[in-house]
Structure formats: C-alpha cells, structure tokens
Amino acid sequence: MSDEEKASRYITPDYSLLGDEHVKRYRETNGEVGHIWNGATALLLTTIGNKSGKPRTLPLIYARDGDNYLVVASKGGSPTHPAWYLNVSDNPEVEIQVKDQVMQATARTAKVGEERDRLWKILTDIWPNYDQYAERTERLIPVVILEPTTQEK
C-alpha cells in the first residue's frame, strides 16, 4: 500500500472517552459504552505493573484471530514501548474484559515475519492508523496475542 493510500485511511479519533474514564464507563456498562471506540472494538487489559506490582487496567483496540485476541503496542508511534507492554513482557498472565466477559489470558508477542505480518493486516483492517504509527517510529511495533486460559465468566 502506498503512503498516500495509508494517509487516506487515517481515522481522526474522538478523544471524548479516554483512559481511566474509558475503563470506568466500560466496567459500569459491561462494555455497552466503550466496547466500540471510534468504530473499532476495544477491550480492557489488566496487567501487573513490572515496578509497582499493582494491577493496571487500560482500554485497547483489539481484533480476533480464532479464539485469541490481538492488541498492538503502538503508543501512537512513540520511540518507546508502552508501559503495559513492558508489564506483559515481565508477567504475561493478564486479565481481559470483552463487553461483560472477563477472562484470564496469557500474552505473547507475535513472531517477527509471517506471523506478525498476517496479524498486523488483521489489526490495520480494524484500525488503519497503526500504519501511520509505524511510520513515526524506528522500532518494530509489537503485535501481542492474548490467549485465553479460562472460560469467559
């Protein structure tokens, strides 16, 4: 895809629901508010802080690949990884909430090459801005696979 085509796919986000407020509204409404964010699907990811040892929850855009959930450690194209990615790198056992379903999962980074390329395409079909974010940074933005380890509850 050309740079011009990527630019034409960029979605200007509505930031009226963000961060802690997004998490709060998502939980209060079992995802009725917040599961769809700017036309993309969002889940809540809870990690254990690699320095604090405390749970940290944030909303992330996700896609599905079979039974697995896919998220991107983009940080908007920042030169550094987001804190949540450092957390799952140290402790891959996480909790995710998708609408009213809460489940335990194991996080792993997609293998660079064929696996990551295939998953990246799935994710950019949902959130085209990831291509723009990738152009803003020299780091290879990780694709993270969240593999559920418990039944949805």
**Residue 15 pLDDT exceeds 80:** no
**Residue 70 pLDDT exceeds 60:** yes
| Confidence at residue 24, expressed as pLDDT on a 0 to 100 scale | 95
**Domain segments of the chain as ranges:** 3-148
CATH topology of domain 3-148: Pnp Oxidase; Chain A (2.30.110)
Residue 149 phi, psi (nearest 5): -115, -10
**SS3 category, 70:** strand
| Confidence at residue 19, expressed as pLDDT on a 0 to 100 scale | 86
